[in-house]
Amino acid sequence: MIKQAEQFLEQCYKELGKTEAELRARTEAVTQEIAETGSYTHTYEELEYGAKMAWRNSNRCIGRLFWNRLEVKDQRHLGTEEEVAGALQEHIHEATNGGRIQSTISIFKPKTDDGEVKIWNHQLLRYAGYETDEGIIGDPDSVALTKKALDMGWEGAGTPFDILPHIFHIDDREPVWYDVPEDIILEIPLRHPEYEWFRELNLRWYAVPIISDMRLEIGGVDYTCAPFNGWYMETEIGARNFADDFRYNLLPVVAEKMGLDTNRNSSLWKDRALLELNQAVLYSFQQDGVSLVDHHTAAWQFQVFQRNEHKQNRQVTGDWTWLNPPVSPATTPIFHQSFEDRMDSPNYFYQKCPFS
């Protein structure tokens, strides 16, 4: 941990314009604290900049141009279930920002030998998935967590778009669940600029994608509860959540409404339905004044990010398979580039599912 802390502090203090004397004094203090306690406590400035650096280092994120605009909420002082639940709801409200989505991260106390805070939800807003005799109602990706929620006493309405409660545990205490208040949830009903029948599908999606099950690592300190969000790229909803056959699987439905020939692949019905589904997502968010970026603009922004990093003599790492959008990837410059898929620190990491 001392080595990790030293590496982080050196980079962090250099980028923040700190003096050599400030770096030396802080490094000595941190080294002593680790020797005495086995860990150390970040200052807010270190926590804030470390979280921003972690976003900048996130290989799978195409939206890193805005890494330095991340709003960092220090929630390390919270220790009760009620306090944590309130902070998660506060995050949703402030990140939603009336539709002008604010990139935000809420960082709770770090993991220690005494325990950790861990959220069971993949995202703070996510639709339930119910297994029925007629098939799955809702999001198939949420079936396991929905079962856990139901077992814990939560009651969903049984519709395709029921927001799951927040489930989390603190240290060795039993997990708890809290419903998400409806008045802080912004959802966008989907419609299409040309096809009136699209409204009849009764589709909608929530405005803010808040990832809540990843671990934030800064200088050797692990924050197992650090939900964070940017804003949606339309393909995340239109080409994955709604289009994947293991999610809502709506391409056949849209294709049928469009009158396309779904009996042969050469009709390109999947491609045509996919495009219109994404068009509906873009149109609906734009009409409602909710932040969203299309994949072409996002790819252009990533090029700007790369140029900015090059000016700072920093290498841009990346996971090519994730950076390429799932719609028309060859039309973006990212498709024709290569990246080193190296995990630099600070960063965000997957962690073991607490209920699997």
DSSP letter (8 states) at residue 247:
T
Calculate the CA 327 to chain-centre distance: 20
Residues 73, 107: contact at Cβ < 8 Å? Answer: yes
Cα 29 from Cα 281, distance rounded (Å): 51
DSSP letter (8 states) at residue 57:
T
Strands 187-189 and 176-178, by their bridges, are unpaired
Cα 225 from Cα 110, distance rounded (Å): 8
Smallest CA-to-CA distance from 210 within 163, 174, 146 is with 163
- Bond before 165 cis per omega within 30 degrees: no
Residues 15, 225: contact at Cβ < 8 Å? Answer: no
Which residues are identified as catalytic?
61, 64, 231, 236
Residues 247, 141: contact at Cβ < 8 Å? Answer: yes
- Tokens standing for residue 13: 């203090």
Place of tokens 């599908």: 201
Smallest CA-to-CA distance from 323 within 308, 331, 335, 340 is with 335
Cα 168 from Cα 234, distance rounded (Å): 29
Residues 243, 277: contact at Cβ < 8 Å? Answer: yes
